[in-house]
């Protein structure tokens, strides 16, 4: 099998005292995308390469397998590369941390078998970008609303606030449980309203509801390039309308991390 042959070859290199290298894979782009060669350096400041197979190409760079982790820098380098690629044309991100042994593995294990699907994905993403809309509550607002709307929560707060944590443990857990449940309802309700407002302007969306006291939701939005201005105008109007309760922050464009059917 190809994989084991390659693996033993690299072990042989080790025996000769050389350090084994791997291929860090960032993304798949169209084979004819020359701009990919102008991308910034990747992990460890090593220049990027293209591994071409048919109509698609993987953007990779060579990385020493025994390199120190350097987690933050790796993640940032990955994002920098993907940002650059996304600005050039359609790009299918490959999950962060994907390492193959060599170019043959990239062709045989990533590009070759999936070429038709990758081409279709790239066609589908042409002229589209991902934006992240992050909605957060103005601090204190959701708790104030919950306290004023739910007498049980207000009563539990009264019962627990001047007692020690130890003696009021059960009441505190109950208070927190009720607040957590109320927060979930509030987030779901508000997220629906926000989503309704942006739906006409997006091709696809993914919602992740918040989990803490200020997080409402993060919306990943796939947007046609020519509709971005409309979306921004709509969001500005929305942000003004809700600004006493909710803050809206929009980032992007970025590579379509949430719209390639991964993970």
Partner 1 sequence: MTTQTMSRRQGGGYLERPAPSGLADVVEMILDKGIVIDAYVRVSLVGIELLTIDARIVIASVDTYLRFAEATNRLDLVENGGGKPLDEFLGDMQQSGASRKVKGAVSGVKSALTSGKEKDDDEDEGSRRPARKAPARRGSSDE
Question: Is the Cβ of residue 57 or residue 92 nearer to partner 1 in the bound state?
Answer: 92
User: CA 208 to CA 181: how far, in whole Å?
Assistant: 16
- Cβ 208 to partner 1, closest distance in Å? 8
Question: Is the Cβ of residue 90 or residue 93 nearer to partner 1 in the bound state?
Answer: 93
- Cβ 4 to partner 1, closest distance in Å? 10
- Cβ 252 to partner 1, closest distance in Å? 8
DSSP state of 35: G
- Cβ 245 to partner 1, closest distance in Å? 5
Question: Is the Cβ of residue 24 or residue 31 nearer to partner 1 in the bound state?
Answer: 24
Residue 35 CA neighbour count, 13 Å, CB half: 13
Question: Is the Cβ of residue 40 or residue 70 nearer to partner 1 in the bound state?
Answer: 70
User: CA 233 to CA 241: how far, in whole Å?
Assistant: 13
- Cβ 98 to partner 1, closest distance in Å? 5
Give residues with Cβ within 8 angstroms of 227, minimum separation 6. Answer: 201, 202
What kind and span of H or E run contains 241?
helix 228-242
Structure tokens at 183: 């927060």
> CA separation (Å) from 39 to 62, 163, 234?
15, 60, 33
Question: Is the Cβ of residue 27 or residue 33 nearer to partner 1 in the bound state?
Answer: 27
Nearest C-alpha neighbor of 111 from the set 151, 160, 53 = 53
Question: Is the Cβ of residue 33 or residue 98 nearer to partner 1 in the bound state?
Answer: 98
- Cβ 263 to partner 1, closest distance in Å? 5
CA dihedral 85, 48, 24, 2 (to 10 degrees): 110
């Amino acid at each position: 099998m190809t994989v084991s042959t390659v693996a033993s070859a690299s072990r042989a290199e080790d025996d000769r005292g050389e350090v084994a290298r791997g291929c860090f894979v960032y993304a798949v782009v169209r084979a004819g995308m020359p701009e990919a060669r102008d991308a910034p350096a990747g992990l460890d400041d090593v220049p990027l390469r293209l591994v071409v197979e048919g109509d698609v190409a993987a953007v990779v760079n060579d990385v020493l397998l025994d390199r120190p982790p350097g987690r933050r820098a790796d993640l940032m380098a990955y994002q920098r590369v993907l940002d650059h690629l996304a600005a050039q044309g359609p790009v299918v991100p490959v999950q962060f941390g994907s390492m193959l042994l060599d170019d043959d593995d990239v062709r045989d294990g990533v590009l070759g078998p999936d070429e038709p699907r990758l081409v279709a994905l790239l066609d589908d993403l042409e002229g589209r970008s991902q934006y992240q809309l992050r909605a957060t509550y103005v601090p204190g607002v959701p708790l104030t609303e919950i306290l004023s709307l739910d007498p049980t929560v207000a009563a539990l707060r009264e019962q627990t606030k001047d007692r020690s944590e130890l003696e009021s443990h059960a009441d505190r857990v109950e208070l927190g449980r009720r607040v957590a449940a109320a927060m979930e309802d509030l987030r779901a309700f508000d997220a629906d309203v926000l989503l309704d407002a942006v739906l006409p302007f997006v091709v696809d969306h993914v919602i992740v509801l918040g989990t803490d006291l200020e997080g409402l939701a993060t919306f990943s939005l796939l947007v046609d390039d020519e509709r971005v201005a409309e979306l921004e105008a709509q969001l500005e109007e929305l942000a003004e309308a809700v600004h006493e309760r909710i803050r809206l922050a929009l980032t992007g464009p970025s590579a379509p991390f949430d719209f390639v059917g991964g993970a």
